[in-house]
Chain A
Amino acid sequence: MTRKILAVDDSRTMRGILKKVLSGAGYAVDLAEDGEDGLDVLSRSVPDLVITDINMPKLDGFGFIDQIRRQDALRAMPVLVLTTESAAELKDRARSAGATGWIVKPFEEDKLLAAIRMVVA
């Protein structure tokens, strides 16, 4: 069964890269450009995994995850955070916001896919 991933990033470039890498690896990909947009997509279709950027307009990554975790249907969905900071505190913050894991940008393709395989069967 094809797994679906929702990738949320306000940068069109990053969305393009994610789309390319993920669909290249055989995943179905939904895209959204900020947290609000992401919630909108989620209200219509629930993926197997969400990958989200942190710094975004309107609703940032932390707020987005928080909203996801508030919804019963999405509570246990894996959410990976894309971050340019590898600092431990950022990971901690992502963790306390409810992120399942994190990927440090810029990522290598196989690192990203390895991280995804950590959370999606």
Chain B
Amino acid sequence: MNDLLEGFFEECEELLEVLGDGLDAMAAGTADDSTINAVFRAVHSIKGGAGAFGMDVLVEFSHAFENVLDEMRAGKLALTPALTALLYQAGDHLNSLVEASAAGGATTSDSHHDLIRDLKAACQSLSEAQDTALEDDPTPEDFGFMPLTIDLDGPDEAAVEDSPGTHYEIRFAPHAALYELGLEPVLMLRALHDMGEVDVEATCDRVEPLKSFSSGEADILWRIRIKTEVPRPELEQVFEFTRDLCDLDIFEIDDVSAAAEPEMTADQSTPVPKVTKQVAPGPLSTSEPMASATTQRAPGKSRKSGRDTLRVELDRVDRLVNIVGELVISEAMLRQSMSDPEMSSNSSAANAMAQLKQLSGELQESVMAIRAQPVRGLFQRMSRIIRETTRETGKEARLVTEGDATEVDKTVTERLVDPLTHMIRNAVDHGLETPDAREAAGKPRIGTVSLSAAHRSGRIQIQLRDDGAGINRAKVRETAVRKGLISASEDLSETETDNLLFMPGFSTNDSVSNLSGRGVGMDVVRSEIQALGGRVSIASKAGEGTTFTISLPLTLAVLEGMIVSVAGERLVVPTTSLRETVRVSEASVHLFGQSERVLAMRDGLIPIVDLGERLGFRASVDVQVDQSLLLIEADSGRRVALAVDQVFDQREVVIKGLEQNYQQIPGIAAATILGDGRIALIVDTDQMIPQGPAVTEQSDAGARHGDLTNA
């Protein structure tokens, strides 16, 4: 059952996504009937599954929610702004109930009951309006029949009697329609037989000769006498499905002899309510779904459903990703060893080689695509965060999203939830002004937070923009000085000032409100993003707002790197932070202080670090003319020039984690295997950059990069 339960919560997540999309469309006024139907079905399915697992709180709530949606799709409840707000609230609550249920069990709260009450009220106002309408309708109940009351949960009359068996006589005259629907009287007789002693008698007087036979009448009357200990409702249940399809009468007889009376034939079986073609009263008769029933469909022509999917455990995919990674490496090794000069470029081996290269490339791409997921779900969660935060702060904001369909590695979307949540809270709490302040500044009262995703030059770019007041740099600076992060005399550019927000210790213990400062600072946000191989930067303009730009690799399994050699060792320098490569012979290198070398660039002096020395491959050497300098720039804007002996080519390498097999090494992010089978270490460029004067080297800096390889 556990698998089913897990599957249920997975499905819930998808359904909640459908719900969120639908609600957004409703709010935007772009919803049509199919949207409302889809939203209804989503809530309905959650209710169904929750019922199966006995999650009563979830059932109770989704039931109330579903009723409102049902009225809406029947066109009886119009979408008002108030209703939209209620639906959103209900959607959010449903989200948290599902989360709570997944975490072990949802409990009710005041707001839970309030919300159910509000949802009921939304339907209530409607049925009141209907009641008054019905008053004009004469005798709405008169449909010319009396319903068969087969109440399965009703009071159990027979059970109170403690007789070891009760005698019943059942008169059962099936209509032809009963047979047409696939019901089989024999099965019912058999079921009765299982309940006690049965005596069956069929009256066939009324059966017409075959030539004049017409179906439709109750031709055969079965008279069944049964002595049974099962309660009457259970007996009636045998005939549950024959409703409207037969004449049925069940009565208890104290005395077996009494059963002889009254004599009855099928056509005079008046005690049985005879129900003919019956139209359900009320709204359901205006059945809209029936319209789709007329869609004709060519039999035999297989119609694929739009999204044929196969659910696979992530572990299996990851193994596949790993193996394909190995394959790509082997392919590169093979290619390298075969590139002998004597091998003709159009030999069959060379052709096969070229084909193998292409295929393994495609294979790798396809495997990576398995892990890709649109960011829609992530963005949707964020609109929930916006609503929560605005409720808590009393500010007004709307979320605009763009590029929802952009696909990102599943691990990335999962691990972006926390950092993005924090950033969104910040945007509302610190970024946006109060409605009054906004109005005074000549802006619309409702602030806009926009979230966009796009593919940019082989990476994913996610931008979070608010149209708030912008970063108050004077205040940021003052805080940084007060906390000893910078000295009062330090001269910082605007970008450097903005980047102070990311410094450890900047925001943690000075939360302006209990909202954004939930023990997480922007430094944690940054390190989370870095752990994913990403970068985050800020741009802010006073009065106009702040933009955070997150840039992430498409996949966590490979990275684009520059292959270099230092002191005879091959190393990979990730190109994400690589700005430029310069030959020492063409650069202007200056001596600075005792032994420090700096590179003079158009826009300033950049410290030179010998990569071999920094990683302990060799003792300090002076910069050689035949060396090259790799210009690295961190997100903070700080730069360093790494001196290396030789620069080879730029290529994608498969990341191999070190700490699973070895341990973390400062300055090294991971390792890879090159085409010739040699192992090369991947340099952690961020750790190569000298930090600002007040910032000490992070001793645990290697830890976060280790995460890179777990994906």
A106 touches B52 (CB 8 A): yes
Q: Mark interface residues in A37-52 (1 if CB within 8 Å of B CB, else 0).
A: 1011001100000000
On chain B, the residues within 8 Å of A100 by CB distance are 181-183, 241
B49 touches A14 (CB 8 A): yes
On chain A, the residues within 8 Å of B184 by CB distance are 119, 121
Nearest CB of chain B from residue A80's CB, rounded to whole Å? 8
A92 touches B241 (CB 8 A): no
Q: Mark interface residues in B268-287 (1 if CB within 8 Å of A CB, else 0).
A: 00000000011111101101
B51 CB within 8 Å of chain A = yes
A17 CB within 8 Å of chain B = yes
A10 CB within 8 Å of chain B = yes
B299 touches A93 (CB 8 A): no
A91 touches B243 (CB 8 A): yes
B11 CB within 8 Å of chain A = yes
B278 touches A63 (CB 8 A): no
Nearest CB of chain A from residue B413's CB, rounded to whole Å? 21
Nearest B residue to A44, CB-CB:
B302
Nearest CB of chain B from residue A100's CB, rounded to whole Å? 5
* Given A36-B305, A77-B182, A79-B182, A93 and B191 contact (CB-CB distance below 8 Å): no
- Choose among A33, A40, A44 the residue with the greatest number of B CB atoms under 10 Å from its CB: A40
B187 touches A118 (CB 8 A): yes
On chain B, the residues within 8 Å of A89 by CB distance are 280-282, 284
A30 CB within 8 Å of chain B = no
B138 CB within 8 Å of chain A = no
A101 to B240, CA, bound (A): 8
* Given A57-B37, A59-B292, A66-B293, A84 and B187 contact (CB-CB distance below 8 Å): no
Q: 6 closest Cβ contacts across the A-B interface?
A: A101-B241, A106-B51, A63-B293, A78-B182, A13-B49, A66-B293
On chain B, the residues within 8 Å of A115 by CB distance are 240-241
B47 touches A75 (CB 8 A): no
B251 CB within 8 Å of chain A = no
Cβ 8 A contact of B48, one of A11, A37, A59, A60? A11
Nearest CB of chain A from residue B195's CB, rounded to whole Å? 12
Q: Mark interface residues in A60-98 (1 if CB within 8 Å of B CB, else 0).
A: 101110110001000111110000100011111101111
Cβ 8 A contact of B284, one of A66, A78, A84, A90? A90
B244 CB within 8 Å of chain A = yes
Additional 16 contacts, C-beta under 8 A, given A59-B292, A76-B182, A95-B245: A10-B41, A11-B48, A13-B11, A13-B45, A16-B8, A36-B303, A43-B299, A57-B37, A59-B295, A62-B289, A67-B293, A78-B181, A79-B182, A84-B51, A95-B243, A119-B183
A64 to B52, CA, bound (A): 24
Cβ 8 A contact of B188, one of A10, A60, A66, A118? A118
Which residues in B have some Cβ–Cβ distance to A below 8 Å?
A: 1, 3-4, 7-8, 10-11, 37-38, 40-41, 44-45, 47-49, 51-52, 54, 147, 179-184, 186-188, 191, 237-238, 240-241, 243-245, 277-282, 284-285, 287, 289-290, 292-293, 295, 297, 299-300, 302-303, 305
On chain A, the residues within 8 Å of B52 by CB distance are 13-14, 17, 105-106
Main secondary structure on B side of the interface with A: helix
11 CB-based A-B contacts, threshold 8 Å: A12-B8, A13-B48, A34-B305, A62-B293, A84-B44, A89-B280, A91-B243, A93-B284, A106-B48, A119-B184, A121-B186
A81 to B143, CA, bound (A): 24
A10 to B302, CA, bound (A): 19
Cβ 8 A contact of A57, one of B11, B41, B47? B41
A99 CB within 8 Å of chain B = yes
Nearest CB of chain A from residue B279's CB, rounded to whole Å? 8
On chain B, the residues within 8 Å of A106 by CB distance are 48, 51-52, 54
* Given A36-B305, A93-B287, A43 and B300 contact (CB-CB distance below 8 Å): yes
B290 touches A63 (CB 8 A): yes
- Choose among B52, B184, B284 the residue with the greatest number of A CB atoms under 10 Å from its CB: B52
Nearest CB of chain B from residue A62's CB, rounded to whole Å? 6
On chain B, the residues within 8 Å of A77 by CB distance are 182
Nearest CB of chain B from residue A94's CB, rounded to whole Å? 10
Nearest A residue to B300, CB-CB:
A43
B183 touches A55 (CB 8 A): no
A16 touches B4 (CB 8 A): yes
On chain A, the residues within 8 Å of B44 by CB distance are 55, 84
On chain B, the residues within 8 Å of A64 by CB distance are 293
On chain A, the residues within 8 Å of B38 by CB distance are 57
A28 CB within 8 Å of chain B = no
A29 CB within 8 Å of chain B = no
A120 to B247, CA, bound (A): 22
On chain B, the residues within 8 Å of A66 by CB distance are 290, 293
* Given A12-B7, A16-B7, A95-B244, A118 and B238 contact (CB-CB distance below 8 Å): yes
Cβ 8 A contact of B290, one of A10, A62, A91, A119? A62
A56 to B182, CA, bound (A): 23
Nearest CB of chain B from residue A83's CB, rounded to whole Å? 10
On chain B, the residues within 8 Å of A59 by CB distance are 292-293, 295
A76 touches B179 (CB 8 A): yes
A60 touches B292 (CB 8 A): yes
A58 to B37, CA, bound (A): 10
A56 to B305, CA, bound (A): 13
Nearest CB of chain A from residue B147's CB, rounded to whole Å? 6
A3 CB within 8 Å of chain B = no
A39 to B301, CA, bound (A): 10
A20 to B1, CA, bound (A): 9
Cβ 8 A contact of B244, one of A10, A92, A117, A118? A92
- Choose among A56, A67, A106, A117 the residue with the greatest number of B CB atoms under 10 Å from its CB: A106
On chain A, the residues within 8 Å of B186 by CB distance are 121
On chain B, the residues within 8 Å of A105 by CB distance are 48, 51-52
A77 to B180, CA, bound (A): 8
On chain A, the residues within 8 Å of B290 by CB distance are 62-63, 66, 97
Nearest CB of chain B from residue A30's CB, rounded to whole Å? 15
Nearest CB of chain A from residue B457's CB, rounded to whole Å? 38
A14 touches B293 (CB 8 A): no
Nearest CB of chain A from residue B328's CB, rounded to whole Å? 35
